[in-house]
Structure 1
């Protein structure tokens, strides 16, 4: 199967405060522009003091604060570390409700203004009073204001734009989890420094899944809606790259006509639809060649190519060598 090729249009969101981050191209640029749209600052009610005023607030997942003050949380990002027991996330309601289950140790980022029927249910282990889970809350508006002073913060823009649909990180390294714990254990400037480093690591982590399509149907999202559609399309391709994908079918999944989706996809990724799919297939083939003894023809069909000559041609174009030569350069890794 050879997917149809695509181009795509890059949406430019009108920011409330013009910013100029150093790196603004491809998916990073479009998502950063969408995320910087103005939002109303979170209200601070009488009696809210202390950690509420901090940029980053830490709570145990089982604590009462993790479920209260829905009004304030409408303006917060939430970074959840699932503790010793599994957890479930509900987004939407009725026929549109989506339910996700997460294993212990999973990290999930939820953006502000997700549907407020959302509930995170951390379940403690039998006989235990705690889940050992953790929630980091950080305001949307303070980071936007910070980007006006520190353009480096714009590197987190694409991550925070994706968070509007919820993001599950796949295979995070132990060092990143440890840093999340250090944010909890520190305070003041030390906490913010650890938090900034954590945001940087999460923003660069490429293996993630967008959780919800609910916000795509929302009204008034403007350029954000197009950005989020591209996130959803890319996730679908990543999950199904070995299948018989077509430009029209993926466009339909995110509610876009073929030509418009083609333009948007190319602007977002810097690649045609065809090249993006082929790149994923070749990357998977490289992993199989380096870590297994599967025959080249078997790998060819497993990753989605329909004949060996086509596979060899694209592999050589991208990697600069044949699959056999690639395997020869990775001796001793196959089991």
Structure 2
């Protein structure tokens, strides 16, 4: 029950790996690795977990995650992603210290909290998506070109300023137990005493631990999970707002509207109206 440490396989003839991840569903599997990870969602939708942040992903979602940053993607439907994983020294130990690569060096440094890129030009997204299809030499040239272009693109940090990547093993194990449990149960009432007991802490000690480890309170994190569940229901069903609130774990409609607006900067009705192309059902 801990975020597994991954060792991405490196194909012969290359110093990094790039692949298409196509699965009928993405299971929650919180993990981390020493490599940077550039992920472009090319099909499907679900939830992206990075550090303390929980966000919905859709086709076109593009993020660069730094080494040792725990993350996972979860969905109940088929999803497809182009993934490229590489170490800082994949072109040599001092390659990015060269003056001409200063912008890329800053990009990689900023990825320690994760970087999400908005309004990515179609040609840049296509370039990222095609990396897995190329041979080793062409992949290397393409990745360097992509990193150079991303260094000039608009991006925002994924995780909050209070989150530190790669906490100690004990902290990481405890956080994973809690996050996995909440991912499965956040639509039900969450009791601090029960959550604290999962990691053998008193409620007071757990509250201090959780805030120090994730940079937010347990309530804030649960609200993120519930709002992302509500976002999915708003864009994939025609359920009334009151039902969306209840199914997401909110027992008070006013609180639901307030929390949703805090995290999404719009009301639930506005959010649904902004996604008219969604396929709706009454389930």
Q: TM-score, normalised by structure 1?
A: 0.41
- Write 1 or 2 for the structure with the bigger share of helix: 1
Q: TM-score, normalised by structure 2?
A: 0.48
- Greater RCO (Cα-Cα under 8 Å, separation 6 or more): 1
